[in-house]
Amino acid sequence: TDLLHQLGVDERLNAEGMIEGGFNLADGERRIRIDIGGLTGHSVTVYGQTEVTRDLIAAAPARGLQIIFEAGDVALHDVDGAAPSLTFTKDGEPRRIEAQFIAGCDGFHGPSRRAIPAGIAREFGRDYPFGWLGILADVPPCHDEIIYAIGDNGFALASMRSPSRSRYYIQVPLTERLEDWPEARLWDELEKRFDPLSTHKVTRGPALEMSIAPLRSYVFEPMSHGRLFLAGDSAHIVPPTGAKGLNLAASDVAYLAEALASFFKRGQEAGLTGYTERALARIWKAERFSWYLTKLMHRFPEDGPFERRIQLAELDYLAGSHAMQTAIAENYVGLPL
């Protein structure tokens, strides 16, 4: 949010974003409110990632930026040399762009990460043994703030995109298919999970979208090689539990933009050579928080009664600990750049 304000790409964000001063962690019928505003002096803005993308695309032409859509066969060349380039096809025609630097912001499945030699690459990750079954519907939220809940059947999330659009998720095994979950079954489960916890109760409505998403933690090191610099999902993935994916991508590009500006304006290379170390320091803290919240609020297949009691003890301690609530709130709003 702060970065969009700095860029002046915040007109719709200011008009349509929902400001929230807290969120909730729940177990059974007990709900623990994390008072973000009171604990940190900050707030969280609910504004869809697709809306951020639309705003950035709309702002590009006025800044002299060209975006090429539907490019195919993208390949990077000579990234460790003085004149890197990339080739691609557009409308069936081959094209080439030569550059001084390449920012690899092309997502987890893009070609940028693969351009870094395997001999220097290190990968760290975990694929989680469950997914999130989600539904998006034009119905009012069941509660005024987000609720993360855990129960006998695992995790559930009640969130919103606007005062009239809600998004819900529940934890499901990776073997589940969308065909196993007609809308009525999912709404039944959501009512069971959230009606005892929420102010307004769950409102049913036709699904605009349903999906099952796997969860993954992943970090690739180094985030630079020669004149190639990775940013966002090309270098790291977090489970959505901590809502840190877009936050991390924004900090990556902020660090990289600062480093490039320092190079072109003052001829200083320290920001570029230190980019990986600076970015990874923040990334690993966000990975830790997302892993912690995922572990706290999900039922893992291998967990038994001991692990369940540990979860209950953790939530019980959290409910009465100002220090622990502050730590969670600080991480949730996003660590300083």
Per-residue pLDDT of the chain (337 residues; tens, 9 = 90+): 788 898 899 999 999 999 999 999 999 889 999 999 999 999 999 888 889 999 999 999 999 999 999 999 999 999 999 999 999 999 999 999 999 999 999 999 999 999 999 999 999 999 999 999 999 999 999 999 999 999 988 999 999 999 999 999 999 999 999 999 999 999 999 999 999 999 999 999 999 999 999 999 999 999 999 999 999 999 999 999 988 889 999 999 999 999 999 999 999 999 999 999 999 999 999 999 999 999 999 999 999 999 999 999 999 999 999 999 999 999 999 887 7
* CATH assignment at residue 199: 3.30.9.10
Q: Can you give the pLDDT at residue 268?
A: 96
- Whether 262 maps to a domain, the answer reads yes
The reply to whether 227 and 117 lie within a common domain is yes
5: alpha, beta or left? (left if phi > 0; alpha if psi -120 to 50): alpha
- Whether 331 maps to a domain, the answer reads no
Q: Which of 165, 186, 216 delimits the end of a domain?
A: 216
- Residue 2, CA distances (Å) to 42, 243, 330 in order: 11, 16, 15
The reply to whether 245 and 205 lie within a common domain is no
Q: Can you give the pLDDT at residue 336?
A: 79
Q: Please give the residue range of the domain that contains residue 266.
A: 68-121+222-293
* CATH assignment at residue 79: 3.50.50.60
Cα gap 191→71, rounded to integer Å: 44
Q: Can you give the pLDDT at residue 337?
A: 77
Cα gap 134→172, rounded to integer Å: 10
Both tokens of 267, joined, read: 């001829």
Q: Can you give the pLDDT at residue 2?
A: 83
